[in-house]
Amino acid sequence: MSVNPFAADSAVPARLGKIGETEKAAIADAILAAIAPAKSQPQDNIGGVIPASVVSELVGRFGLQSERDLMCLLLDLAAREMAKPLISNFHVGAVGLETETGNLILGGNVEFPTTHLGYTLHGEGFVFTRAMSRGTNIGVIAIGEAHPCAHCRQCLAEYAASDRLELIDPLGHTLTLAQLYPWPFDPAYLGERGAVPGRELWSNLRFEEDSVSPAAKTLLTAGRRSHSPYSKCPGALTLHLRDGAAVTGTAIESVAFNPTIHPVQSALVDLLAHGYGYTDIVGASLGTVRGGAVDYTASTRELLSRIVPDTPVMVMGWAV
């Protein structure tokens, strides 16, 4: 086990310890009821999101000090509801607080058997990918006793607002990212600002040729928001679902390259957040720079072929 160099506020676990099992169960039931209407309704993009009004009501009803205590209490529920660690069976939950709305986002780790470990999504990455999809920033993230790995710390450092991010846990730590990752390799080293949710980096993005695909407009809108400043190769993927709905994800590049979130990973985060499973996927439409420095065609087909074999992937090339 690693050595913890940080001081904790013992009042936090003392407060959380006073919440009985009956109260915890009631909180969990209320949260599940709050997120249930968003399942299989991706058009609203509120899957796994707890409205600020519900957060405020639960804090008051159960006499919690603030939404931060509630976030720590929800880590186990997030791990149960969102995590899909099909290799390690090590469930990790994470809960993020949206700066702009006061809503909470639930997240968990996701692993993909029969392919390589590089596709693994960590709980923190799940939360930030959801926030990026929703066009919001995360100001506070609750994590368990296993603090973010170095990969995740690099991932979090990509966001322009990461200098204001706070990380909390049930042990009573409140840490900045700078404390967990001092002297980071951040976007400024390559002359970039970092990821800004909702920003269009590629407003002039267009398809190489006219597309009549029903997914074209959605794909192009997502591609224009792709955070791809380093490769200059934006990517977006729409997953078509059995019930006629669709979810879309974009690339979120990292200045360190390896922690980059691929469009297929981003789309799968939104799929799981809205209560779908892999068997709900019936097709995919990918927007990528074909033959570019980064081309998502091969990696997208590889991962989808493992989780939903024989799923057709239509590739539409675009010019930056």
Cβ-based neighbours of 18, under 8 Å, separated by 6 or more: none
pLDDT score, position 1: 67
Predicted confidence (pLDDT) per residue in 82-136, tens digit: 999 999 999 999 999 999 999 999 999 999 999 999 999 999 999 999 999 999 9
> 281-297 burial, b for 16+ CB within 10 Å, e for fewer?
bebbbbbbbbebebbbb
What's the mean pLDDT when you consider all of the chain? 97
Confidence of residue 140 (pLDDT cuts 50, 70, 90): very high
Summarize pLDDT for 248-280 with one digit per residue, the tens: 999 999 999 999 999 999 999 999 999 999 999
Mean pLDDT of the region 153-177: 97
Task: Give the pLDDT band of residue 3 (cuts 50, 70, 90).
Answer: confident
What is the pLDDT confidence band of residue 145, given thresholds at 50, 70 and 90? confident
Domains of the chain: 11-190 (3.40.140.10), 206-319 (3.40.140.10)
Classify residue 210 by burial, with Cβ atoms within 10 Å: 0-12, 13-18, 19+: exposed
Rounded percentage of the chain residues whose pLDDT exceeds 90? 95
* Cβ within 8 Å of residue 299, ≥6 positions away: 262, 264
> Can you give the pLDDT at residue 89?
98
pLDDT at 225: 98
Give percent of the chain with pLDDT exceeding 70: 99
Q: Among 61-75, 96-110, 135-149, 221-235, where is mean pLDDT lowest?
A: 135-149
Taking only the tens place, the pLDDT of each residue in 182-217 is 999 999 999 999 999 999 999 999 998 877 688 899
